[in-house]
A and B are shown apart, each in its own frame.
Chain A
Amino acid sequence: MLRYIAHRLLGLIPVLIGVSLLVFLSVWVIPGDVVDIMMGDEMAQSAAAIERLRAQMNLDEPIHIRYLTWIGNVLQGDLGVSLISGEPVLDQILRRAPVNFQLMLMAMFFIIVIGIPLGTLAAYKQFTWIDNTIRIGAIFGYVIPNFWLATIAVLIVSLYFPRSGVLHYVPFSEDPIANIRGLLLPGLVLSLTTVTYIVRLTRATVLDALRQDYVRTARAKGLSERIVMTVHVIPNSMIPVATVLGIQVGVLIGGLVLTEEIFMLPGIGRMILLSIESRDFMVLAGSILFVAVIFVLVNLIIDILYAFLDPRIRY
């Protein structure tokens, strides 16, 4: 198991190098001279900003030196400072990260407590109206764009429940209950697509597991249906679901940008959008790199979990 983890960690290195290169190249090189772009943009036409940019990026150096300088700083935890506010990028990220973390947890919670049981139920009741209802619901939930749903949700709440506080974000440290209330709807909307996807996937994997010979063996042993399901069917069918959950973290992260924008939440997603609007490339590069690294690490954890669930992978 340790060997497996070490192997996976080593495999991450080229991917992380590639990720940092892509961020570096697209943010700093493809747009041509960043300074020109900034000069052309009235929003950011501040001498101080340009000065910060020149200082941080050694714009006169050759490109590989610039990359190495940048990545060297990043490895020491220095993502640079915002061109607009002068605040260190990492500080901004860490200040906003709790909102994202909470939202992700909330969404994952909905995915697991709604998606997996509904999918299992649909499979167990295959060919019944329960199964059909769940499946039709899942197909529709899957094609509804979450940013549209979020917009409609905001509309309905602000029209009919303006005082519910559901649309009002409060930091956790100030009022935990109001905080959770304010994140409930964003979390639900954020999770919707993944919930319906997980319902469909769980249904398929549970149906697949139910047809396996070892489930017949379990029944032939005289195990009750409850034990057959909880010991033999559900754990085995969760193995592919766990992997997909890891990939779905990426969907959730992508969804964060839209969700935060619509619900006006102070998370990293909004920070990315703001940095694009204000052409604050230092913040853009830092935050996208941060998110991509988190995503890669989450997938690593999921892979390790997968190996833990399925002993055949480890060797």
Chain B
Amino acid sequence: MHDTRTISRTDERPPDAAGSDDAVAETDQVLSPTRLAWKSFRRSKLGLVGSLMVLLLIVIAIGGEQFSPYDAYSMDSSVSLEPPSLAHPAGTDRFGRDQLTRLMEGTRISMLVSFVAVVLSLVIGIPLGLIAGYYGGLAGTVIMRGVDVVFAFPTILLALMLVATLGASLPNLILAIAVIFQANVVRIVRASVMSVKEREFVEAARAVGARDSVIMAQFILPNVLSPVIVQATFHLSLAIFIEAALSFLGLGTQPPTPSWGLMLNESRTFMEFAPWLTIFPGLAIIFAVLGFNLMGDALRDAFDPRLSQR
């Protein structure tokens, strides 16, 4: 999870996701790959659970503290460091802020960072990958050398270095994560393009004189999309982790913004007499990472039935 490269490799597939075969046998009719993938995805129970978890996170992220009677920022020293109770299900922090409200507000930060960073990485990575895969040549070589360099750094360390030098702030954190992820996107897009571009339908389009831009948009991009979507899902969970880790180190979100990692960091001072401040942000991170991972697993199985027959 903590490294972008490991995710697209062979990995375990949950057994209940192995549904694509039955889908064919059951109907005895040819479905389009997308329909097939969708059918398979819907069959996966873990994928459904993951999607529901993600949906819940998104709803909370949109609503944020509005769902709570408390305010995530206003302090009330009379209820400082209260243990979990009916009034404060996740306790309060040292300034008397309701932790559940802050966790909900933190969901907003996590989702914002991860979605923006992933979208940004796609915006950078897909065109670069298309160029490297379709044209190759000098541009392709330069792009791939750049990718190699990004991969030469341990992920967290590169994020750390970029944020430390750009300055610790939310936009810089997003930028750093996007820079790291785009390298992986470039690699995946390039590999898919190279495998698609020699296929008959592309050759045929070229033979009738279709322009490169048309071929890319109409024939290559759709085939590249499914591995990219799968990877992007895993990137979302990885981004949540990186944001939390860097904020934990004081290099991401800055106080008083309630980010999960930052809350964990702040809790360490009171850990021994207010452990709820340490436990709940961790559970929030686990919940989010698990949700996106389960969804990613199911998506990968759905898009690549060959891998799921075990």
Contact = CB atoms under 8 A, between A and B. Distances in A.
B245 A147 contact: yes
Instruction: Name A's interface SS.
Output: helix
Given A31-B165, A145-B241, A295-B154, A18 B282 contact: no
B157 A273 contact: no
Nearest to A207: B310
B138 to A, nearest CB: 13
A254 B145 contact: no
Contacts of A69: none
Contacts of A248: 3, 6
Interface string A8-25: 000000111011011100
B282 A145 contact: yes
A288 interface: yes
B10 A15 contact: no
Nearest to A240: B10
B152 A292 contact: yes
A307 B113 CA distance: 40
Interface in A162-207: 193, 197, 200-201, 203-205, 207
Interface in B137-180: 145-146, 148-149, 152-157, 160-162, 164-167
Nearest to B251: A276
B145 A15 contact: yes
B271 A151 contact: yes
B180 to A, nearest CB: 11
Contacts of A272: 157, 160
A138 B297 CA distance: 14
Given A26-B161, A253-B154, A205 B10 contact: yes
B152 A251 contact: no
A135 to B, nearest CB: 7
Contacts of A291: 154, 157
Interface string A236-280: 000010001001111101110110010000000000110010000
A155 interface: yes
A27 interface: yes
Given A201-B9, A204-B10, A273 B249 contact: yes
A23 B161 contact: yes
B272 A158 contact: yes
Interface stretch (B191-199, B221-229, B286-294): B286-294
Sorted nearest first, the 7 A-B pairs with minimum C-beta distance are A254-B156, A18-B149, A148-B282, A250-B154, A253-B154, A200-B12, A276-B164
15 contacts: A18-B146, A22-B153, A26-B166, A142-B1, A143-B1, A151-B268, A151-B271, A250-B5, A253-B156, A254-B2, A254-B155, A257-B160, A272-B157, A272-B160, A291-B157
Interface of B: 1-3, 5-6, 9-13, 145-146, 148-149, 152-157, 160-162, 164-167, 237, 241, 244-245, 248-249, 251, 264, 267-268, 271-272, 275, 278-279, 281-282, 285-286, 289-290, 293, 310
